[in-house]
Structure 1
Amino acid sequence: MNNFGKEIKRVYDAIGPVLVYDDGNKRHLSFGDDDEQGCILKHQPTQIQYTYVRAMLLSLLFNAAPNRALLLGLGSGALANLLYHQLPKAHIDVVELRKVVVDLAYSHFQLARHPRLSVGIGDAAAKLAQPVDQPYDLIMSDIYHATGMDAHQSQAAYLERCYRLLAPQGWLVVNFWQEHKQVELLAQLHALFAQVWVNNIDGGNWIVMATNSPELPSDVQLKDNLNDWNKRLGFSLTQVAISLCLHR
């Protein structure tokens, strides 16, 4: 039995149910009775609630102003909303497999409607196989179903497609579980990227950030960037930054 509050919406598609719960303060998205796929603070929807999503935001310490971002997987839309508000010059593309998830993000999770935030329906792996007019400065991948991670997300072909859509100094950020931390996966990432950063998150998530950027901020600059982003965001990334390290 979950503790997400009262069920206020339940819809179905060919994949299964999508549920919305409300506990008065927060709203939760679920793909099953004991599953959670997204959460927002209702009075402040851009205040990220999940620790692992905050860890994904650490890529902004290295690349503070991406012009084009691609999000693979929408969930409640909290991450897309934050990037839209915090990166006022960026164009953000989102790919979500299930139309009902997109509809609920707009109707129940305060997802912004604006030309800079483009949400498409489709399969993430198929989207990555399509050519783009301009490369992305940031790609964030977080595709999960009720039963776990989408199998494509850890496959060599998927990671290579992400790499090919990135600008030369772009960053790929992927949410894995710690059970996916395997030599083969890390070897695939190192074959594509000059630098691979990893972050073990309490709760079982394993965040990977990878880039071919030849220039990275110094440790002093990273600390300054962290302080700046903490002020901008209104919540702290300091705790999740402690376990971020360069994988060699």
Structure 2
Amino acid sequence: MFSFFNKKMHIDHIEWLGVDMHAHWLPGIDDGAKNMEMALNFMKSLQDLGFKKLLATPHVFAELYPNNREIIESTLEDTKQALKASSLPIETGAAAEYMVNEDFEITSNMMCLPKKHILIELSYVSEMPNIEQIIFNLQVKGYIVVLAHPERYSFYQDKHQRFHRLKEMGVLFQLNLLSVSGYYGKDVKRLAEYLLQKNYYDLAGTDLHHDKHLQALTIEIQSGRLFTKLGNVDFKNMELFF
């Protein structure tokens, strides 16, 4: 655990978070990095910003990105080989970001973050009617459910009781770092601030997809603005995933 004093010494870095547990830098398998060159650039840039470990979480979404363990692990291995060849020393790993919709299935071969943490996302249009049952079913199988960027689901804007219910169920919440900057809009920023005030966030990630994300993140981190907003939040990235 980093002390406030140690954080204060590096307000223009993101060493205080340490692990990026949600990003899309595995090349060519979703809407993130398009090729290996872009993937390596993303990883080097994230390391320069202060991350000590990078975990890729490509989409698993049957309609658009039908990824599975074999695809993700093979692409990760290729990426690690490219990292080695480029002499870029940083620890990496991969899980998945599962879209929970009518096609979602629980299997015994799911790609999880360390310690059986499973990252899920919802449609931006509406909440799954049986989301609580799906979460319960995952928990019965021993998974710890992490909900990606809850601040970005517009259907929760006026239904804060749904957040309370999910937290009661033991769901961990993951914040997109750029949400607090207004990158995704005022409503998302406002909801992120509400969830921060309630101390509902357990984890944070870049959700890096493209150069615009990287540029915005770089500005927010190196200016010290991100530390000012989030540096004292008790995120558990290092504790759980390092």
Same fold (TM > 0.5): no
For this structure pair, what is the TM-score category when the shorter chain's length is used for normalisation? Answer: 0.3 to 0.5
- Greater fraction of residues in helix: 2
RCO greater where, 1 or 2, for CA within 8 Å and sep 6 or more?
Answer: 2
Q: TM-score, normalised by structure 2?
A: 0.37
More strand by share: 1
Query: Structure 1-normalised TM-score?
Result: 0.36
